[in-house]
Structure 1
Amino acid sequence: MKRLLILSPIILLCLAIMACKLDNDLAPDTMSTENNRNNQIDTTKNRSLGSPMKIRVSSSTFTAILLNNETATAFKTRLPMTIEMNELNGNEKFHRLPSNLPIKPANPGTIQTGDLMLYGSNTLVLFYKTFRTSYSYTKLGRIDDPSGLAAALGSGNVTVSFALE
Structure 2
Amino acid sequence: MWMTIGERRFAITLADNETARTFATRCPLTLDMAELNGNEKHAELSQALPADASRPGTIHSGDLMLYGSSTVVVFYRTFRSSYAYTPLARVDDPVGLGQELGQGSVQVTFSQ
- Whether the TM-score (by the shorter chain) exceeds 0.5 is yes
2:74 aligned residue: 126
Higher share in strand: 2
How many residues align? The count is 112
Q: Compare the two structures and name the one with the higher helix fraction.
A: 1
Structure 1's consecutive aligned runs of 4 or more residues displaced over 2 angstroms after TM superposition are none
C-alpha distance in 2, partners of 1:136/1:72?
16
Give the TM-score normalised by structure 2. 0.98
Separation in 2, partners of 1:111, 1:133 = 7
1:153 aligned partner, one-letter code: L
The one-letter code of the counterpart of 1:117 is M
Please give the root-mean-square deviation of Cα atoms over the aligned residues, in Å.
Answer: 0.5
After superposition, the C-alpha distances for 1:97-130 in whole angstroms (9 at most, x for unaligned) are 0111001000000000000000000000000000
Percent identity over the alignment is 53
Aligned counterparts of 2:48 and 2:31: Cα–Cα separation in 1: 16
Aligned to 1:86: 34
Aligned to 1:75: 23
Higher relative contact order (CA 8 A, sep 6+): 2
Which segments of 5 or more consecutive residues in structure 2 lack a partner in the other structure? none
Structure number, greater radius of gyration: 1
- Normalized against structure 1, the TM-score is what? 0.67
Q: What amino acid is the match of 2:51?
A: I
